[in-house]
């Protein structure tokens, strides 16, 4: 048994069969074929070998023309190796007699060859091992198709173990089949982590190198509460975790009974619970969990899921679906927030050595005004349902906000001229996620209808900690007193101007912070739908004066450690079985 510590980013426990995605692509778990498909699978293998052979031949010819035969000979060696009769016989035997899938046979045979080369000393041998890996990769690529698409195509329950996953790769996972994942890299605030929470699957990131200990196909445990992954668990550990899975299922069932009750404190104060979504299909989950609207629709996932830039019609349909599904409830559509770790298919900016400080979010939108206008037109067209609100992300200066509002005004004018209906009184808000925005809140209050605090970025920009870097993850916390002071300033300022303010960063979905946030005066929280029932239960078991007393004590504290200790103690008093 091997226990590995990482960073817990999406709660819950998952137990299941591992599928390993390492730097070389998929490491294929052992799969057996039904007797009647053996012949078909042998044909698939032969076709893959033939296709890869012709791909390599093509490369050989190109290199030979451009650089000469000397360089092209390496490809000849690859062709020879790939068509070696002994290798072919071995693969055929595995498929025909042992009923291995072609993918598993290829992966197993070629990795064994590569290992032999690796065990022999010298650069020449290391190169040969690389050649074998290269052939394996090409063959698997042919057999499996593109890796990303394959993640979407998984149709049996697995846990994904990977070096890294991009937010869009994660977004392509079907949570019915991918029951959890763990990655070697990645930090607590990365969008990959956020998407995992949205999908409601346990996830652990930043584990460090561990993939060489996993082979794929074996049972693993991902403990998203403690940030652990357990390889080769013993019987006792498995039994304990199975019990935990049952317990969580019971708790989730009990919480559904709260669905139709209000999030009201014991002294009768209403708290607005809203949902964060990335895809239109999640609107239903929000309704199932009894939230009062959508506080953050991360529309940029439409770009990430699409191969190219979405058309106005594609935008429109997605927004209309959400607005209609949520009829009678507010839907806050955040305009595209691309860049940094959410990379669209746009030309690379010239110099992005600090992508989180670079051309991301509203800055990128204002640089690609046509793309921005297309999205705004679609949001406006969908707004005839009257429940849509527009929110601009990452606003750092007043000028930036005014420029965004000007593009919006242009889009409105165009629609008006074209006679296309939209909501003329649509509310316009902004995210508060950069310290400069907090400092200028009084001015922003004159220019927007509402605010939402984005703690994921606010923490990163306040503490100068990259939200997706595991090596500085211990500094990345919403419990830092500086962050809490900025949150208080934002709430006080919005309150003083009578402007509604909510919070949609991950902090708002963590019950650890609920009492503090209510005590600081927040009355609206937007979270992943999965987190909402627990928050509702907590709201219903505290009073505002109790929360204010907690906030008062927190505001006097000097370190995140003290803040967390106090909040944990207070939470456990209210929800004794809460697992933090
Ligand atoms: C945030 O920064 O808190 C936020 C909600 O936006 P995102 O996580 O998408 O950057
Ligand atoms: Mg943000």
CA 193 from chain center: how many Å?
4
Annotated binding site for Mg(2+): 433, 457
CA 292–ligand 1 middle distance (angstroms):
20
Same domain, 39 and 15: no
CA 434–ligand 2 middle distance (angstroms):
9
Our answer to whether residue 286 is catalytic in this structure is no
Whether 300 is in the pocket of ligand 1, judged by its Cβ within 6 Å, is: no
User: Which residue carries 């009647």 as its tokens?
Assistant: 36
Same domain, 82 and 166: no
Residue 580 lies in a domain: no
Tell me if residue 228 falls in helix, strand or coil: strand
- Closest ligand 1 atom to Cα of 337: 9
Crossing angle for the helix pair 38-67 and 69-82, nearest 10 degrees? Answer: 170
CB 274 within 8 A of CB 294: yes
Whether 332 is in the pocket of ligand 1, judged by its Cβ within 6 Å, is: no
Q: Which of 251, 280, 315 is the last residue of a domain?
A: 251
Whether 523 is in the pocket of ligand 1, judged by its Cβ within 6 Å, is: no
Same domain, 212 and 124: no
Q: What is 37-90 written as a DSSP string?
A: GHHHHHHHHHHHHHHHHHHHHHHHHHHHHHH-HHHHHHHHHHHHHHT-HHHHHH
- Number of residues that this document lists for the chain: 580
- Closest ligand 1 atom to Cα of 194: 8
Q: Which of 144, 170, 188 is the last residue of a domain?
A: 144
Same domain, 372 and 511: yes
Please tell me the distance from the alpha carbon of residue 168 to that of residue 160, in angstroms, as a whole number: 15
Burial of 534 (0-12, 13-18, 19+ CB in 10 A): buried
Looking only at the bridges linking them, the beta strands covering 25-27 and 13-22 are antiparallel
Q: What is 174-205 written as a DSSP string?
A: -TTTEEEEEESS--TT-HHHHHHHHHT--EEE
Same domain, 166 and 119: no
3-state secondary structure 276-329: EECCCCHHHHHHHCCCCCEEEEECCHHHHHCCCCCCHHHHHHHHHHHHHHCCCC
CB 31 within 8 A of CB 101: yes
- Closest ligand 1 atom to Cα of 189: 8
Q: Which residues contact 243 (CB under 8 A, 6 or more apart)?
A: none
CA 199–ligand 2 middle distance (angstroms):
18
Closest CA to 24 of 144, 173, 120, 116: 144
Q: Sign of dihedral through CA atoms 49, 54, 59, 63? A: positive
CATH number of the domain that residue 191 is part of: 3.50.30.10
Residue 127 lies in a domain: yes
CA 129–ligand 1 middle distance (angstroms):
43
Residue 548 lies in a domain: yes
Same domain, 120 and 17: no
Same domain, 212 and 281: no
Structural domain for 107, as ranges: 35-144
Our answer to whether residue 191 is catalytic in this structure is yes
Whether 454 is in the pocket of ligand 1, judged by its Cβ within 6 Å, is: yes
- Closest ligand 1 atom to Cα of 456: 3
Same domain, 406 and 315: yes
Closest CA to 462 of 442, 441, 479: 479
CA 541–ligand 1 middle distance (angstroms):
28
Residue 579 lies in a domain: no
Catalytic residue among 286, 504, 539, 547: 504
Looking only at the bridges linking them, the beta strands covering 272-277 and 228-231 are unpaired
**pLDDT tens, position by position, for the chain (580 residues)?**
999 999 999 999 999 989 888 665 666 666 778 888 899 999 999 999 999 999 888 888 877 887 777 777 778 888 888 999 999 999 999 999 999 989 889 988 887 888 788 787 777 777 777 788 788 888 888 887 655 556 777 778 899 999 888 877 787 788 889 999 999 988 888 888 888 888 889 999 999 988 877 777 789 999 999 999 999 999 999 999 999 998 888 888 778 888 889 999 999 999 999 999 998 989 998 999 899 999 999 998 888 777 678 999 999 999 999 999 999 999 999 999 988 777 665 656 566 778 899 889 999 999 999 999 999 999 999 999 999 999 999 999 999 999 999 999 999 999 999 999 999 999 999 999 999 999 999 999 999 999 999 999 999 999 999 998 889 999 999 999 999 999 999 999 999 999 999 999 999 999 999 999 999 999 999 999 989 999 999 999 999 999 999 999 999 999 999 999 999 999 999 887 664 4
Q: Which of 251, 275, 303 is the last residue of a domain?
A: 251
Phi, psi of 557 (to 5 degrees): -85, 160
| Two tokens, residue 213 | 């200990």
Same domain, 115 and 220: no
162: left (phi over 0), alpha (psi -120 to 50) or beta: beta
CA-nearest residue, atom 1 of ligand 1 = 454
CATH number of the domain that residue 46 is part of: 1.10.274.10
Whether 197 is in the pocket of ligand 1, judged by its Cβ within 6 Å, is: no
| Two tokens, residue 315 | 């935008």
Looking at the chain, the number of H-run helices and the number of E-run strands are 23, 17
**How many structural domains compose the chain?**
3
- Closest ligand 1 atom to Cα of 361: 10
Residue 465 lies in a domain: yes
Same domain, 9 and 46: no
pLDDT of residue 579: 46
Catalytic residue among 78, 191, 315, 368: 191
Whether 504 is in the pocket of ligand 1, judged by its Cβ within 6 Å, is: yes
Buried b (16+ CB within 10 A) or exposed e, 355-373: bbebbbbbbbbbebeebbb
Pocket test for ligand 1, best of 453, 505, 513 (most atoms within 8 A of CB): 505
pLDDT of residue 343: 66
CA-nearest residue, atom 7 of ligand 1 = 456
Same domain, 237 and 383: no
CATH number of the domain that residue 342 is part of: 3.20.20.60
Same domain, 439 and 340: yes
Please tell me the distance from the alpha carbon of residue 505 to that of residue 517, in angstroms, as a whole number: 12
Looking only at the bridges linking them, the beta strands covering 294-298 and 331-334 are parallel
CB 459 within 8 A of CB 476: yes
């Amino acid at each position: 048994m091997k226990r590995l510590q990482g960073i817990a980013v999406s709660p819950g426990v998952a137990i299941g069969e591992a599928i390993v995605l390492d730097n070389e692509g998929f490491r294929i778990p052992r799969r057996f074929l039904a007797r009647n498909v053996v012949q078909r699978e042998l044909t698939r293998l032969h076709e893959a070998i033939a296709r890869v052979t012709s791909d390599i031949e093509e490369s050989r010819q190109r290199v030979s023309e451009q650089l000469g035969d000397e360089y092209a000979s390496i490809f000849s060696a690859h062709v020879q190796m790939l068509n070696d009769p002994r290798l072919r016989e071995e693969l055929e035997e595995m498929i025909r007699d042992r009923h291995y899938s072609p993918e598993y046979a290829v992966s197993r045979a070629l990795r064994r060859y590569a290992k032999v080369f690796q065990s022999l000393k010298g650069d020449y041998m290391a190169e040969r091992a690389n050649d074998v890996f290269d052939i394996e990769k090409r063959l698997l690529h042919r057999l499996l198709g593109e890796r990303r698409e394959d993640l979407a195509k998984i149709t049996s329950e697995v846990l994904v173990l990977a070096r890294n996953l991009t937010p869009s790769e994660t977004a392509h996972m079907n949570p019915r089949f991918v029951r959890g994942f763990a990655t070697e890299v990645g930090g607590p605030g990365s969008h990959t982590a956020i998407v995992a929470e949205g999908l409601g699957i346990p996830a652990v990131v930043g584990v460090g190198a561990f993939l060489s200990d996993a082979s794929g196909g074996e049972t693993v445990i991902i403990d998203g509460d403690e940030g652990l992954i357990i390889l080769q668990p013993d019987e006792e550990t498995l039994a304990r975790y199975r019990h935990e899975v049952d317990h969580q299922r019971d708790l989730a069932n009990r919480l559904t009974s709260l669905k139709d009750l209000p999030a009201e404190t014991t002294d009768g104060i209403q708290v607005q619970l809203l949902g964060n979504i990335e895809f239109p299909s999640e609107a239903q989950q929000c309704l199932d969990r009894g939230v009062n609207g959508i506080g953050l629709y991360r529309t940029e996932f439409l770009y990430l899921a699409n191969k190219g830039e979405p058309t106005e019609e594609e935008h429109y349909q997605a927004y209309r679906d959400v607005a209609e599904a949520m009829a009678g409830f507010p839907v806050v559509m955040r305009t595209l927030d691309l860049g940094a770790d959410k990379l669209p298919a746009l030309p690379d900016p010239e110099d992005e050595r600090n992508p989180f400080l670079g051309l991301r979010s509203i800055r990128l939108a204002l640089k690609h005004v046509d793309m921005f206008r297309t999205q705004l037109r679609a949001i406006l067209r969908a707004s005839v349902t009257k429940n849509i609100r527009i929110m601009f992300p990452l606003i750092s200066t007043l000028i930036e906000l005014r420029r965004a509002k000007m593009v919006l005004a242009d889009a409105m004018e165009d629609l008006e001229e074209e006679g296309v209906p939209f909501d003329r009184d649509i509310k316009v808000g902004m995210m508060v996620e950069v310290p400069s925005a907090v400092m200028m809140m009084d001015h922003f209050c004159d220019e927007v209808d509402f605010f939402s605090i984005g703690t994921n970025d606010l923490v990163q920009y306040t503490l100068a900690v990259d939200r997706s870097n595991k090596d500085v993850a211990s500094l990345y916390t919403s419990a830092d007193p500086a962050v809490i002071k900025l949150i208080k300033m934002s709430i006080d300022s919005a309150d003083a101007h009578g402007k509604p303010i909510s919070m949609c960063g991950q902090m708002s979905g963590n019950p650890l912070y609920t009492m503090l946030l209510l005590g600081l005066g927040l009355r609206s929280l937007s979270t992943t739908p999965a987190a909402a029932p627990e928050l509702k239960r907590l709201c219903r078991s505290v009073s505002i004066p109790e929360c204010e007393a907690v906030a008062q004590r927190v505001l006097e504290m000097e370190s995140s450690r003290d803040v967390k200790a106090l909040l944990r103690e207070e939470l456990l008093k209210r929800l004794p079985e809460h697992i933090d």
